[in-house]
A and B are shown apart, each in its own frame.
Chain A
Amino acid sequence: MEYLQNFVVLLSNRLRSHGVKCGVSESIDGCIAVESVPIRSVHHLREVLRLAMIKRVDDYEIFDRVFEELTNPLRRSSRPDEPTERMPGQGGGDQRRVEKGSGQSSQSITFYSPMEVLMKRVLPAPSRDSFRQSKRVIRRLRRRLALLPGRRTETSPSGLFDFPSTVRTSLKTYGEFLKIAHYRRKISRCRLIALFDVSGSMDAYTTFLMQSMYALARQGVALEVFVFSTKLVRVSDLLRYFGPKKAAERISEDIHIWGSGTRIGSCLQIFLQKFGGLISRGTVVMIVSDGWDTGEPELLDMAMRELKNRTGRIVWINPHADKPGFKPRTIGMETAMPYIDLLAGMASLQNIRGFVRFFGNELQPINRKPMTSRRGLLSQQNRL
């Protein structure tokens, strides 16, 4: 039994170093679990420990690999180049994502990339100044976003008649109605999903929006962030836990291995398949890309059609869209155009007023009554 306990501790240490959230309580759960179930085999042990210690399906894969490493030392020694203990900040999470994509765990990693570019691309990390600025932006933005009522209610001095609350207060005065309570609908939050194209052609533009996304997430806007080029990775948690700077570092480390070229269509397909549950009619999907697509346009067309059907609004931000004489000529843009509700450029987003105006107008909860449209100058200009 003691051996098993030591094993559980070792396992949870290893899991932590790979970026899985596995604390003392998970270790305790693991120990109790192995004590209460008669373990028959190594396979069975793995199943029991996985049930007790892992709390999200995305971590299953990494758990299996760590478990394999610990129970099968032979295999571990065959790949001495992979450091087993790593600090979370040193790219443990990246390694695992890389291997997930490659689909093989026991051999060295090889990748196919349309144009192998191993030059390290650096996602520009946000500067302190611009970050402070975007924080201010978001605070204002939040006030603007919070315009429409949701389904929860709160008490208020005026509004709808609140029967339960009125009666409840009247009981203090033995059923005499001295005060009438009212309630109103609480302001709801909008849901936003941002998909960033992080292939080489985007680098200069992503910074600002990345920070803004971070600030949005910090302000409690329901938000999911993904980055894509040849593949799609969800970075919401990265952003939330590490902040924009570290997240940008980690993401660019990954991109460096992905290789270049953008397959918007297939990435959107993957998004719809794997994360389709996240979207609903009340969601705004924001795609940030210049539309240079190395994949098949049919795939993009299909993905955009489905996206259009399933979400409330699609906002496409193309960094070049507000340059004079811009026409959506790239294949990706041409294909996607019919499905886009709003196309915007980056230049007008880069200052506070433009940003607030843009998002304030575009990110209203959609499934309710549409706002009487008093769209900002900016969106009018860009509506094509």
Chain B
Amino acid sequence: MSSLTPEILIREMEKELYVADEAIATAVFLALKMEKPLLIEGEPGCGKTEIAKVIAKMNGTDLIRLQCYEGITASQALYEWDYPRQLLHIRLMESSKSTDEIASEIFSEKFLLRRPLLAALLHPGPKPPVLLIDEVDRSDEEFEGFLLEFLAEFQVTIPELGTITAERKPIVILTSNRTREVGDGLRRRCLYLYVTYPSPEKERKILQLRVPDLSPKLSEDVVEFVQRLRGIPELTKKPGISETIDWAQALKTLGAKEITSNVLSSTLSCLIKSEDDLAQIRSLGIV
């Protein structure tokens, strides 16, 4: 790990089919080196979540994912007691064991349901897991405050069991789509990376890796067309990298040799996902 540099990281990530530019590689490198969480913001479909997956694969460790949503609470993220099993256990043991024994048994780790954050703390190793906290902007501010505390200490107090501290600090990646501004407190604890749509060269390279048997000519055309779409200011949802890959896959599956208007109109749904945008594109005469 000590010999790692951003350049090596670029190559390693490429092995896992992820094309990282220098900014991404440096960010990941610093996050690993400084053991700080990395907050990634950017347009949808530009590979934010993918970064976490790739780091996990690269390190040969587990990816633990916490998907945030509106109304998520600490117990859904951290831990819960398995009440039904606890009850059952009590009923079974009632006759044979003393109450003290039962009490100590039912509040043991056996009956603890590990939710993602606790699972990351208790990860058996040997390498630290990657904890992906996805779309943190969807959770509300109270949950963000709770995360803040968790990310600062990497420890959790369970009243019945005591304080649990991480043996290996997990590698934490947070992503946000900016539906809400993430608070300053959380930002300050993280390294910050903003990813946006790739340059044509980078996108071609991505296609080469992800859809290897696509002809160079077609991949060139695909990239050019997608880049052109992104340049249209009226579109509400611009196609991201994942859409480009989907489209290229579709073209390959259909056996298209080149992008004709026929092919385009039948596969455009891979790129454009809203009715308004489709109409917009039609009115501009692109399709």
Interface residues of A (CB under 8 A from B): 21, 23, 25-26, 29, 32-33, 36-38, 44, 47-48, 51-52, 54-57, 60, 150-153, 163-164, 167-168, 171, 174-175, 222, 269, 272-273, 276-278, 280, 302, 306, 309-310
Contacts and interface: CB of A to CB of B under 8 A. Distances in A.
B233 A273 contact: yes
Interface string B42-85: 00000000000000000000000000001101000000110110
B16 interface: no
B34 interface: yes
Given A152-B140, A168-B83, 19 more contacts: A29-B191, A37-B26, A37-B29, A44-B22, A48-B26, A48-B30, A54-B192, A55-B39, A55-B192, A164-B83, A167-B83, A167-B86, A168-B81, A171-B106, A175-B90, A175-B91, A277-B177, A278-B180, A306-B236
B101 to A, nearest CB: 12
B187 interface: yes
A26 B84 CA distance: 47
Contacts of A48: 26, 30
Nearest to A48: B26
Please indicate which of the listed interface residues B70, B188, B192, B193 has the most CB atoms of chain A within 10 Å of its own CB: B192
B30 A51 contact: yes
A273 to B, nearest CB: 6
For the complex, would chain A's binding face be called helix, strand, loop or mixed by DSSP majority? helix
A276 B39 CA distance: 21
B190 A33 contact: no
Contacts of B71: 150-152
B144 interface: no
A29 B184 contact: no
A190 to B, nearest CB: 13
A277 B178 contact: yes
Contacts of B22: 44, 47
A32 B29 CA distance: 12
A269 B233 CA distance: 9
In the A-B complex, the 8 residue pairs with the closest CB atoms: A151-B71, A55-B187, A167-B83, A57-B194, A175-B90, A55-B192, A277-B179, A277-B178
Given A56-B187, A152-B73, A272-B236, A38 B26 contact: no
Given A150-B71, A309-B276, A29 B83 contact: no
B90 A51 contact: no
Contacts of A38: 5
A37 to B, nearest CB: 6
B287 interface: no
A150 B71 CA distance: 8
B147 interface: no
B188 A26 contact: yes
Contacts of B151: none
A164 B30 contact: no
Please indicate which of the listed interface residues B23, B106, B188 has the most CB atoms of chain A within 10 Å of its own CB: B188
Nearest to A276: B236
Contacts of A37: 5-6, 26, 29-30
B119 interface: no
Interface string B149-188: 0000000000000000000000000000111110010011
